[in-house]
Amino acid sequence: MSAVRIGIVGGTGYTGVELLRLLLRHPQAELLAITSRKEAGQPVADMFPSLRGHTDLRFSTPDEAPLAQCDLVFFATPHGVAMNQAHSLLAAGVRIIDLAADFRLRDTAAFEHWYGMPHACPDLLAEAAYGLPELNREAIRKARIVANPGCYPTTVQIGFAPLLRTAGLVDGAHLIANCASGVSGAGRKAELGNLFAEAADNFRAYGVKGHRHGPEINQELRRIAGLADADASLNCLFVPHLAPMIRGMHSTLYARLTPEGQKLDLQDLYTRFYANEPFVDVLPAGSAPDTRSVRGANVLRLAVHKPTPDTAMLLVTQDNLTKGASGQAVQNMNLMFGLAETTGLDGLALLP
Amino acid sequence: MSAVRIGIVGGTGYTGVELLRLLLRHPQAELLAITSRKEAGQPVADMFPSLRGHTDLRFSTPDEAPLAQCDLVFFATPHGVAMNQAHSLLAAGVRIIDLAADFRLRDTAAFEHWYGMPHACPDLLAEAAYGLPELNREAIRKARIVANPGCYPTTVQIGFAPLLRTAGLVDGAHLIANCASGVSGAGRKAELGNLFAEAADNFRAYGVKGHRHGPEINQELRRIAGLADADASLNCLFVPHLAPMIRGMHSTLYARLTPEGQKLDLQDLYTRFYANEPFVDVLPAGSAPDTRSVRGANVLRLAVHKPTPDTAMLLVTQDNLTKGASGQAVQNMNLMFGLAETTGLDGLALLP
Amino acid sequence: MSAVRIGIVGGTGYTGVELLRLLLRHPQAELLAITSRKEAGQPVADMFPSLRGHTDLRFSTPDEAPLAQCDLVFFATPHGVAMNQAHSLLAAGVRIIDLAADFRLRDTAAFEHWYGMPHACPDLLAEAAYGLPELNREAIRKARIVANPGCYPTTVQIGFAPLLRTAGLVDGAHLIANCASGVSGAGRKAELGNLFAEAADNFRAYGVKGHRHGPEINQELRRIAGLADADASLNCLFVPHLAPMIRGMHSTLYARLTPEGQKLDLQDLYTRFYANEPFVDVLPAGSAPDTRSVRGANVLRLAVHKPTPDTAMLLVTQDNLTKGASGQAVQNMNLMFGLAETTGLDGLALLP
Amino acid sequence: MSAVRIGIVGGTGYTGVELLRLLLRHPQAELLAITSRKEAGQPVADMFPSLRGHTDLRFSTPDEAPLAQCDLVFFATPHGVAMNQAHSLLAAGVRIIDLAADFRLRDTAAFEHWYGMPHACPDLLAEAAYGLPELNREAIRKARIVANPGCYPTTVQIGFAPLLRTAGLVDGAHLIANCASGVSGAGRKAELGNLFAEAADNFRAYGVKGHRHGPEINQELRRIAGLADADASLNCLFVPHLAPMIRGMHSTLYARLTPEGQKLDLQDLYTRFYANEPFVDVLPAGSAPDTRSVRGANVLRLAVHKPTPDTAMLLVTQDNLTKGASGQAVQNMNLMFGLAETTGLDGLALLP
């Protein structure tokens, strides 16, 4: 099989360098171009010395880059870039994976509310596949556009899905997702709050007035439950926190079990639900996953608990940049191009 | 007024060095002795170079130490030490503040279950005052024995108290305390899981099968609510997590509001409840406290949120070694000896 | 004695908040004003929640602020601000401590080369006292302008001074200062390299083509040795590194001993040299100081070693924001206003 | 070619889990056994959840393990284990790579002095090859026993070699190696000084009275220079420091250039010296390498500086567990078994 010809738009941020780390070792990926208007001409390995010796690629301007000759273009850009280039790329027969949020929310008004910009191609929203392979694999295979999920939403959906796929097991209107993320989740942007001297040896909640991943979580949890987009009978309270670590995400999820749900063997439910998933690891009963056990690996580890008779508690970990972003994007690429889903994604976590 | 003559039993751990940091600057404290069988003879400042130049005190054996001549003895020891010395010290007219758990649980059976040892003086359990000044000030003033609260329980009680003091505001049977602590909370013990290379750049839940602070939390929340010790109509699910920071504790508390509770102005409730408390800082609406804003200070900062119409959410931070342990112990000492409650506790947080 | 009336120009950075932490607890300091054009009107405690409850001060514009009514103005500003206001403040009888570099280099050309701006008041350079009390105490007492030293230069000068005060002990032309600093040393500026996700779990040299503290170090080491400013027979190679910690500075200093110098008892030399200094702690022979042993304290701890017969090695630690900046500034203030040098500076290091 | 059959003795520490991470992805490695008396029977992935799903291996006792059927046995043990099993393994035709120090020092007396135990097989010391491929490749290919170098010595030798291979370029008697290591270098041992709450936000020198890597460094630098083992005309002062990071090692090396050496183009010297080395990356002039740029990768990056006319300064970084230990061990294995030297070692550094 011939290699997938790939372009990356953006790529000077953390999801960009993570994508490069993975694609440069992917046996079926041929990297044709990476664009950055600001860094055009600079070797990628000058910006990211970790790549020295492994690529001669230079950043190019979007105009120069042979994106139309690619089979696939990843957008590792700020929100709002992919939607402006989607039509012309699709017209050239190029498929798209957007690591930003342009195609995550199906409701144009919601997108415009949460991201503060008009949507450039609402017509494509319905077409885009939501890129969470474990829950939407078939749609991804065929999609021209894949909306790579947000990092938090990945953990919350994988965590709650087994409880929501069957109606009536939990009080869906009062789900809680108490999450903590490493600082790389904020991106490679020079902002005061993300300075080492501000974020180290510190812990705090943020986004307490509402976080963009909230509507994405509820949209998708409702879909998982087979409910309409705006059906308030399912609602998850999402509370993100910032932890002083580089990578890593930990979500502690709470659901109130109905009398029906209380009869379930939760450990068994989850083990069976994810039995064939190469990237979801349901831990033995009584466990608590470390974020470091998935550092740099495209895997999500979770533990299932029933701390009171009517409470289900899930402990879910992933690397926010790998399974939470770029690793998942490569997983989507593998599906889109008929490759084995695990191709290029078998690296083991770096521990310690 | 003459100074309070003080002895410290133990003192080679983190609560010990924090107590020394505070007491060496306390204008009414006279440090007579600090004991450690293992370190007897060694200058305290050799073990803790941060104290060099500020004290000539040496560790002494418990037998040599003039504890009976003290007005007050702090136990900064492992659980189970204070209870064995309590009777003889009380008989000598010495008052006691125990930073360990010997006098926290009023139910002997519960103590024996959670701490795995018989209680040496169950007769004193009823007498001991629970040392959370904001909720139990009068009892502390008169007490001969004060049980200094656990770090987590301090944040959970201060956080929930305004909602529980009035019956019927919340669904008390389903409270959730999702907490994160810095690693110093595990003590100065050479354990694998607390190594830098294990705990850094990592986040995980722990104690998932039950944590000793759970029964303490429920005992005291029930007392705050005016309920019997075993009244299961009030129950808090407590889930601790380990965050890669030295000091700092952050509790995210959730309560389901009853229709009655939903009518409340929560911000106003909390602001008034703690209006006269020097060490509880209710932040303006919409805030999220940083643990670093209380680093080394005897203060607890909290923010009040109502993220959905029927959810109260409290964000509570403290330094686990200061307001969560040794600072609170000094606050108790001040009350017991008729000093201004803030004496020696006015240091500002170290930020950044 | 009446309190010293104080103004702070700047104060939104890390040396600013550290100065506030110290001055708000200084028994002889009366804080009249703190200026920030950008933050004018905002309560200081809104920017730095660690100060909540301890000050009602608000930032004001430089024009509004009653600086001319102050006894002393601290400049906690970027380089180049103090020199523009010095003449008018001095004319109003106000004394000045500049925490930036405007008055550190006596050679105007050197200043202009290293700081990239013309000097606004070269006439005042000769008058300014270099604010390292241990080596320049008498000049500071009388000074109208004090140039508070750079953080690295403080450690290097205190470290080498005993070896340089007597001629002929070391090969002065080949001194080496291999230093490491916490990230707060880079200031509270939103720069990419100081992000948590860039600086954590990382170590690197920086400023390898020349760092501004180099000329300051050589200027002052030469003065200590009684040499002319440009006398190349004394030269220190200064190599700074960035360590993943918030506060703390560690300098490892190397000097080649002459045959004369090899006869010395170095431990004795240092112990006697600093015998009466309240803020310099010479550790027992064989020690290695931790930066954390001085966290938040205005003290510099050092250990003296002779690892080979002809090598003197000094291990010097300080908190870069305290003894390396704002604590030293308060120490200078105490000298300038006839207060006991330790006033307001007796806080113990926060450990752990 | 058939796979190399491998046994690991020890393997419960950090070099062990790093070896497993690499070997489980090595296309020519077949892992037959891993021993740990204490953990016998336990699945390796229970101890290191990062390996879950990638190996079914269990720890076995040394007696059960089919070590004699292996082609190669790695010792990832404390010092003193390999030397006791070497003779019997060699007799069975098994080759050995020892990651501990048993075969590093050729002088038995030096070994016994620094490691505090008699040497069990001094006869094998002469035979063992020192496993630094870049400087000793041919001997490694043929060796039955390879002494995998210490982490610090790897950086120091690679850093100084180009200056020492030609006589007369530097003052060899006064080399300085000022080094900093992450805490994983201390191993997975429950020791107080390596606790998170002790080592985080801290920096200090250690081993100031002499460190075991000192004699190894001097032995090998002398060999590189073609000098006798005890020739004091070459001596390197080695000063290690502990930095608050998990992985990473940074060595700042200083050499005084002779008049002859001052004529050299150092950048050119180093670039040519390492031109064909896949795992040594000489950075462009003016650079300063980050330790994170080699995190998890088997590469050593270095920058060459001449900060004064007579000083050569090298900045050398590696991951102490990869190129500094287990990665280098795999590189040695590749050489010993005629595999391409880079086999299984092409993983890119994890950044951020």
Note whether C221 and C160 are within 8 A (CB). yes
In this prediction, residue A2 carries a pLDDT of: 84
ipTM of the complex: 0.97
Note whether D350 and D295 are within 8 A (CB). yes
Asked if C289 and B247 come within 8 Å (Cβ–Cβ), the reply is: no
For residue A273, give both structure tokens. 């639900």
Note whether D320 and D185 are within 8 A (CB). yes
Asked if D203 and C243 come within 8 Å (Cβ–Cβ), the reply is: yes
Residues C170 and C284 in one domain: yes
Please classify residue D262 by burial: count the beta carbons closer than 10 Å to its beta carbon, then call 0-12 exposed, 13-18 middle and 19+ buried: middle
Contacts of D281 (CB under 8 A, 6+ apart): A52, A53, D274, D299, D300, D301, D302
Q: What is the C-alpha separation between A155 and A316, in angstroms, rounded?
A: 6
- CATH code of the domain containing B219: 3.30.360.10
Q: What 3-state DSSP class applies to D112?
A: helix
Q: How many CB atoms lie within 10 A of CB D109?
A: 10
Query: Per-residue confidence at C165, pLDDT binned at 50, 70, 90?
Result: very high
Residues A193 and A299 in one domain: yes
Tens-digit pLDDT string for chain A (352 aa): 689 999 999 999 999 999 999 999 999 999 999 999 999 999 999 999 999 999 999 999 988 999 999 999 999 999 999 999 999 999 999 999 999 999 999 999 999 999 999 999 999 999 999 999 999 999 999 999 999 999 999 999 999 999 999 999 999 999 999 999 999 999 999 999 999 999 999 999 999 999 999 999 999 999 999 999 889 999 999 999 999 999 999 999 999 999 999 999 999 999 999 999 999 999 999 999 999 999 999 999 999 999 999 999 999 999 999 999 999 999 999 999 999 999 999 999 999 9
Residues A162 and A208 in one domain: yes
* Residue C139 covered by a domain: no
Q: How many CB atoms lie within 10 A of CB D338?
A: 10
Number of domains in chain A: 2
Q: What is the C-alpha separation between A298 and A154, in angstroms, rounded?
A: 12
Beta bridge partners of B167: none
Q: Which residues of C328-345 are buried (b: 16+ CB within 10 A; e: fewer)?
A: bbbbbbbbbbebebebbb
Asked if D205 and C290 come within 8 Å (Cβ–Cβ), the reply is: no
C178: region left, alpha or beta (phi > 0 left; psi from -120 to 50 alpha): beta
The H or E element containing residue B178 is strand B175-181
In this prediction, residue A1 carries a pLDDT of: 63
Looking at chain A, which subunits does it touch, using at least 3 CB pairs closer than 8 Å as the criterion?
B, C, D
In this prediction, residue D1 carries a pLDDT of: 63
Q: What is the C-alpha separation between A299 and A302, in angstroms, rounded?
A: 10
Residues D115 and D175 in one domain: no
Q: What is the C-alpha separation between C3 and B161, in angstroms, rounded?
A: 42
Query: How far does chain D reach from its first CA to its final CA, in angstroms?
Result: 37
Asked if B237 and A308 come within 8 Å (Cβ–Cβ), the reply is: yes
Asked if A243 and B180 come within 8 Å (Cβ–Cβ), the reply is: yes
For residue C352, cis peptide bond before it (omega within 30 degrees of 0):
yes
In chain C the beta strands, taken as DSSP E runs, fall at 4-10, 29-35, 59-60, 72-76, 95-98, 129-130, 145-147, 175-181, 204-205, 236-242, 249-256, 280-282, 300-308, 311-318
* Residue B113 covered by a domain: yes
Residues B223 and B294 in one domain: yes
- CATH code of the domain containing B66: 3.40.50.720
Residues A92 and A240 in one domain: no
In terms of Cα–Cα distance, which of D317, D304, D320, D205 is closest to D254?
D304
Q: What 3-state DSSP class applies to C54?
A: coil
Note whether A72 and A78 are within 8 A (CB). no
Percentage of chain C exceeding pLDDT 70: 100
> Cα-flanking dihedrals φ and ψ of residue B182, to 5°?
-70, 165
Asked if A196 and C244 come within 8 Å (Cβ–Cβ), the reply is: yes
Query: What average pLDDT does this structure show over D30-46?
Result: 96
In this prediction, residue C62 carries a pLDDT of: 87
Please classify residue C138 by burial: count the beta carbons closer than 10 Å to its beta carbon, then call 0-12 exposed, 13-18 middle and 19+ buried: exposed
Q: Per residue in C267-312, pLDDT tens?
A: 999 999 999 999 999 999 999 999 999 999 999 999 999 999 999 9
- Mean pLDDT score across all residues of chain D: 97
Min distance A176 CA to chain D CA atoms (Å): 27
Beta bridge partners of A205: A241
Q: Per residue in B178-203, pLDDT tens?
A: 999 999 999 999 999 999 999 999 99
Q: Residue C290: which of B49, B278, B321 has the nearest Cβ?
A: B49
Percentage of chain D exceeding pLDDT 70: 100
Q: Say which residue, C230 or C88, is predicted with more confidence.
A: C88
Contacts of A40 (CB under 8 A, 6+ apart): A58, A59, A60, A61, A64
Helices (H) and strands (E) in chain C, counts: 12, 14
Residues D195 and D298 in one domain: yes
Query: Per-residue confidence at C2, pLDDT binned at 50, 70, 90?
Result: confident
Q: What is the C-alpha separation between D185 and D248, in angstroms, rounded?
A: 9
Residues B187 and B102 in one domain: no
Q: What 3-state DSSP class applies to B149?
A: coil
Asked if B289 and C352 come within 8 Å (Cβ–Cβ), the reply is: no
* Residue D143 covered by a domain: no
Q: What is the C-alpha separation between B328 and D205, in angstroms, rounded?
A: 35
* Residue C80 covered by a domain: yes
Question: Could you tell me which chain C residue has the CA closest to the CA of D314?
Answer: C205
Q: What SS3 string covers A65-109?
A: CCHHHCCEEEEECCCCCHHHHHHHHHHCCCEEEECCCCCCCCCHH
Angle at C169 between CA C164 and CA C170, to 5 degrees: 80
Contacts of A150 (CB under 8 A, 6+ apart): A101, A104, A212, A213, A216, A324
Give DSSP secondary structure letters for C264-310. S-HHHHHHHHTTT-TTEEEPPTT----GGGGTTSS-EEEEEEEEETT
The H or E element containing residue B180 is strand B175-181
Residues C99 and C160 in one domain: no
In terms of Cα–Cα distance, which of B48, B53, B42, B93 is closest to B69?
B93
Query: Per-residue confidence at C206, pLDDT binned at 50, 70, 90?
Result: very high
Q: Is B151 a catalytic residue?
A: yes
Q: Per residue in C10-19, pLDDT tens?
A: 999 999 999 9
In this prediction, residue C1 carries a pLDDT of: 63
Residue D49 with chain A: CB contacts under 8 Å:
283, 289-290, 293, 301
Q: How many CB atoms lie within 10 A of CB D179?
A: 26
Note whether C180 and C250 are within 8 A (CB). yes
Min distance A238 CA to chain C CA atoms (Å): 24
Identify from C183, C202, C238, C316 which residue to disrupt to test chain D contact, counting D C-beta atoms within 10 A and taking the largest count: C202
Note whether D319 and D247 are within 8 A (CB). yes
If interface means Cβ-Cβ distance under 8 Å, which residues of chain B face chain C? 14, 17, 21, 24-25, 48-54, 184, 188, 200-201, 246-247, 278, 281, 283, 289-290, 292-297, 299, 301, 321, 346-352
Residues B113 and B237 in one domain: no
In chain A the beta strands, taken as DSSP E runs, fall at 4-10, 29-35, 59-60, 72-76, 95-98, 129-130, 145-147, 175-181, 204-205, 236-242, 249-256, 280-282, 300-308, 311-318
* Residue A64 covered by a domain: yes
Helices (H) and strands (E) in chain D, counts: 12, 14
Looking at chain D, which subunits does it touch, using at least 3 CB pairs closer than 8 Å as the criterion?
A, B, C
Contacts of D223 (CB under 8 A, 6+ apart): D130, D229
Residues C117 and C221 in one domain: no
Q: Show which residues of A are catalytic.
A: 151
Question: Could you tell me which chain B residue has the CA closest to the CA of D48?
Answer: B198
Looking at chain C, which subunits does it touch, using at least 3 CB pairs closer than 8 Å as the criterion?
A, B, D
Contacts made by residues A50-53, CB under 8 angstroms, sequence distance 24+: A50/A17, A50/A21, A50/D292, A50/D293, A50/D294, A50/D295, A50/D297, A50/D348, A50/D349, A50/D350, A50/D351, A51/A17, A51/A20, A51/A21, A51/A24, A51/D348, A52/D281, A52/D283, A52/D293, A52/D301, A53/D278, A53/D281, A53/D299
* Cα dihedral value D291, D293, D298, D299, nearest 10: -90
Q: Per residue in D70-92, pLDDT tens?
A: 999 999 999 999 999 999 999 99
* Residue A291 covered by a domain: yes
Beta bridge partners of D316: D251, D302
Q: Residue A49: which of D48, D54, D290 has the nearest Cβ?
A: D290
Please classify residue D15 by burial: count the beta carbons closer than 10 Å to its beta carbon, then call 0-12 exposed, 13-18 middle and 19+ buried: buried
Q: Is the pLDDT of residue D29 over 90?
A: yes
B11: region left, alpha or beta (phi > 0 left; psi from -120 to 50 alpha): left
For residue B352, cis peptide bond before it (omega within 30 degrees of 0):
yes
Q: What is the C-alpha separation between C242 and C240, in angstroms, rounded?
A: 7
Helices (H) and strands (E) in chain B, counts: 12, 14
In this prediction, residue D36 carries a pLDDT of: 94
Question: pLDDT under 70 in chain B at which residues?
Answer: 1
Question: Could you tell me which chain B residue has the CA closest to the CA of A308?
Answer: B237
Q: What is the C-alpha separation between A295 and A322, in angstroms, rounded?
A: 8
Q: What is the C-alpha separation between C113 and D157, in angstroms, rounded?
A: 38
Contacts of B54 (CB under 8 A, 6+ apart): B24, B45, C348
In this prediction, residue D332 carries a pLDDT of: 98
Could you list the residue range(s) of the whole structural domain that residue B180 is in?
152-320
Query: What's this model's pTM, rounded to 2 decimal places?
Result: 0.97
Min distance D151 CA to chain B CA atoms (Å): 17
* Residue B195 covered by a domain: yes
Contacts of A38 (CB under 8 A, 6+ apart): A12
Q: Residue D288: which of C204, C287, C315 has the nearest Cβ?
A: C204
Q: What is the C-alpha separation between D173 and C69, in angstroms, rounded?
A: 61
Residues A165 and A310 in one domain: yes
* Residue C329 covered by a domain: no
Q: Are strands A145-147 and A129-130 parallel, antiparallel or unpaired?
A: parallel
Asked if C190 and A190 come within 8 Å (Cβ–Cβ), the reply is: yes
